[in-house]
Amino acid sequence: MRLSNKVALITGAGSGIGREAALLFAKEGAKVVVVDINSVAGQETVSLIKAAGGEAAFTANDVSKAAEARAMIEFAEKIFGKLNVLFNNAGIFPDADGSVLETDEEVWDLVMNVNLKGVFFGCKFGIPALLRAGGGSIINTASFVALMGAATSQIAYTASKGGVLAMTREMAVEFARQNIRLNAICPGPVETPLLAQLLSDPARRQRRMVHIPMGRLARATEVAQAALFLASDESAYVNGATFTVDGGITAAYVTPE
């Protein structure tokens, strides 16, 4: 198994990409720390892992708060003795996040606190734990909008994911010789409950679809597979990478109708 003897912590693991990654990592032998602000969803992920014969534990934490981010790392080390893989995946995309002309400061701050500061805190407290374990892999969820403009306005989300990408690169350079790798996944639009709600309007959904060469949204399992590769020793020489899982969006100039 690809993650045997590894302990992995995944934020936002109560649903979507985070849950699929938790299930996949456990299947591949990792002991998984499931982190989510939603206790019911997080506990459900743990139950699914255990039902499949895996090992997991849940902790409810808000990644945007320093004390809680520190607590989730301490929980991982206390329960499983170490931390080898950190997947900073938790993120939000409020409906009120739109054009720079319309987005309120409160929305901006909320998105930055979760999407950008949450990754900062995860790394701030997670890297020392990985160092104690002799090194490891950190995967941060960015987005294809960190690389190009979005088809629909989402100024705070786009800025936050651009920050995640830049921050990942800097830390990848800083800790490379201490046996810690940091990489960023840049998914295209993913078929998750969050995006399903945002794209419930057929016209808004079609505006997204026309820009995707493959003509469909990504499946959360497809992004989780990319995270698994980056978590495993198979990617031992992959560091500071922008790992696009976007169906060709960032490669396209003219997209077929």
CB 31, CB 22: distance < 8 Å: no
Per-residue pLDDT of the chain (257 residues; tens, 9 = 90+): 999 999 999 999 999 999 999 999 999 999 999 999 999 999 999 999 999 999 999 999 999 999 999 999 999 999 999 999 999 999 999 989 999 999 999 999 999 999 999 999 999 999 999 999 999 999 999 999 999 988 789 999 999 999 999 999 999 999 999 999 999 999 998 987 667 776 777 877 777 777 889 888 899 999 999 999 999 999 999 999 999 999 999 998 755 45
Distance CA 22, CA 33 (A): 8
Q: Distance between CA 64 and CA 78 in Å, rounded? A: 22
- Where in the sequence numbering do the catalytic residues fall? 157
pTM: 0.95
Q: CATH assignment of 7-190+219-243, given 3.40.640.10, 3.10.20.580, 3.40.50.2300, 3.40.50.720?
A: 3.40.50.720
Q: Are 122 and 63 in contact (CB under 8 A)?
A: yes
